[in-house]
Amino acid sequence: MTSLGHLKRLSAVRSSAGVKFLTPCAFPGSHCPLHPALALAGNIRGLSSLVIGTPECAVYSRVVLPKAQGDLHWTYVLDAHEVVFGCRKGLMDTLQKMDQAGAKAVLLLGTCVPDLIGEDIEGLVREMQPRLSARLISVMTGHFKCNSYPSGSWKTLKAIGALMAPREVRPRVVNVMGRSPDETHIPMPPLLRALLERGFTLRCLAPGSALEDFLEAPDAAASLVLSPFTDPLAADMEQSFGTPAFRLYDIYDPAEIGALHAAVAQRLGIEWDNALDDERPALLSLQEQAAKRLGGLRYVCAHTGPLGALPMAAYLAALGMEPLLLHLEEFWPGDKRWTELLNARGYDPPVCHMVNSDSDAPLLEGLSPALCLGDLPGARVRIPSVPQLSDLYGLCGYERTRSLLERILRVLDGPAAPGERRAPYGTL
């Protein structure tokens, strides 16, 4: 463990700043928070953007949005004078032009240099708003302040939330936060299907939605949160408009899933009539089998995409699995709950940020884990691995927990022999 001495243990982490790189590496590109912020702006109909930065940021923004259609997506490139003395005058003129060109709402995206020189973009927004028809919001995306990309998404969503206003509640409307209205590659969770069958309108709030969908969101009876990226916005709506948020993205335990389903039904004034319980008996049987196989196994967690590592680790700890090292893309405010659960169960693993797979893989192998949960892109890892856990993102309830356990047990069994047929786990 001497090579991991620079890492903090989970109990010592208070924010993403405490999560250190596993091996030395600078990783720009898709890990820059500008990437998801701009991509999100380009995929919300009715929202325009203005990237403020150096020529490198301008070129990169064209890579993220190569053929922006419909809404205006402009870049403002700082010249040498503005890098020293600021770009206030130029930004004001540009916003006037975007307003005249028909922008309905503009997201100003400040990059590293405006942040470093202390450009007051929030103050500029407050000053310019009374002069323009377009609504203005801003997000600072300086990469030097963070290791990774999630803040670009959740900060953008929180900024959009600032445009919301109170509305009369419609009791048959539910916000689905983190699922696109055009989503077909992720099956619709049973909970959402059951709501549709009971006549509810589901408003999806995610890339692919319209800005108007977000602005109407305070009229919903509840928000079902399927993604950690949308959780900060859901929390703001809960505080500002009283819209209750039910977090589905971080629950694996069958008892907690059942309790959450009951809470949703109570809030909406409905009965499920056992519509969500079809998979519960099979999951309980599978969980009993898994506990016998997984108790005492030690594992490392690599890239799981947007699927949170800590909620999953807390659930697996209840089955007796020991985390040796966890990769965290971001330490979310809600992760403190999972930290306390892991600590209460006797586990306090080092946590890290992995961005250099070829250098990271030997360190993981040196820990001699029984399993690696997640991926190390491009690296050859000599550890039994459970890959593509990001496929579970967007799922919720019993089916996601069942899929997780089935994947782990399948890897422990090893590859099937030619012609061998295996019964699915949980089948009696």
What digits encode the pLDDT tens for the residues 193-242?
999 999 999 999 999 999 999 999 999 999 999 999 999 999 999 999 99
- Mean pLDDT check: name the lowest of 104-108, 357-361, 376-380, 419-423: 419-423
Residue 369 has pLDDT above 70, yes or no: yes
Smallest CA-to-CA distance from 306 within 395, 397, 409 is with 395
What's this model's pTM, rounded to 2 decimal places? Answer: 0.92
Q: How many residues does the chain have?
A: 428
Residue 165 has pLDDT above 80, yes or no: yes
Most confident of 141-145, 348-352, 412-416: 348-352
Q: Does 239 map to a domain?
A: yes
Same domain (yes/no): 70, 176: no
pLDDT at 207: 92
Residue 1 has pLDDT above 60, yes or no: no
Residue 421 has pLDDT above 60, yes or no: no
Using a 10 angstrom Cβ sphere, with 0-12 exposed, 13-18 middle and 19 or more buried, the burial of residue 47 is buried
pLDDT at 416: 47
Residue 291 has pLDDT above 50, yes or no: yes
Q: How many CA atoms lie within 13 A of 104 on its CB side?
A: 13
Q: Does 419 map to a domain?
A: no
Q: What is the mean pLDDT of residues 302-324?
A: 95
Q: What is the mean pLDDT of residues 107-118?
A: 94
Same domain (yes/no): 138, 208: no
Same domain (yes/no): 20, 40: no
Residue 425 has pLDDT above 50, yes or no: no
Using a 10 angstrom Cβ sphere, with 0-12 exposed, 13-18 middle and 19 or more buried, the burial of residue 102 is exposed
Band (378; pLDDT cuts 50, 70, 90): confident
Same domain (yes/no): 229, 305: no
Q: Does 196 map to a domain?
A: yes
What proportion of the chain, given as a percentage, has pLDDT over 70?
A: 95
Residue 130 has pLDDT above 60, yes or no: yes
Distance CA 26, CA 42 (A): 26
Residue 246 has pLDDT above 60, yes or no: yes
pLDDT in tens, 45-81: 999 999 999 999 999 899 898 876 678 999 999 999 9
Same domain (yes/no): 303, 186: no
Same domain (yes/no): 404, 304: yes
Residue 377 has pLDDT above 60, yes or no: yes
Residue 423 has pLDDT above 60, yes or no: no
pLDDT at 26: 61
Same domain (yes/no): 96, 204: no
Same domain (yes/no): 325, 396: yes
**Rg, Å, the chain Cα set:** 23
Using a 10 angstrom Cβ sphere, with 0-12 exposed, 13-18 middle and 19 or more buried, the burial of residue 376 is buried
Same domain (yes/no): 310, 381: yes
* Domain extent at residue 95: 34-145
Compute φ and ψ for 258, nearest 5 degrees.
Answer: -60, -40
Q: Does 422 map to a domain?
A: no
- Last residue in a domain, options 268, 296, 320: 268
Q: Does 150 map to a domain?
A: no
Same domain (yes/no): 370, 299: yes
What number of other Cβ atoms are within 10 A of residue 382's Cβ?
A: 10
pLDDT at 137: 97
pLDDT at 417: 42
Smallest CA-to-CA distance from 330 within 79, 77, 165, 148 is with 148
Q: Does 233 map to a domain?
A: yes
Here the CATH number for the domain that contains residue 130 is 3.40.50.1980
Same domain (yes/no): 259, 311: no
Residue 426 has pLDDT above 50, yes or no: no
Count of domains observed in the chain:
3
Q: Does 19 map to a domain?
A: yes
Same domain (yes/no): 312, 407: yes
pLDDT at 103: 96
| Mean pLDDT score of the chain | 91
Band (379; pLDDT cuts 50, 70, 90): confident
Q: Does 89 map to a domain?
A: yes
- Last residue in a domain, options 77, 110, 145: 145
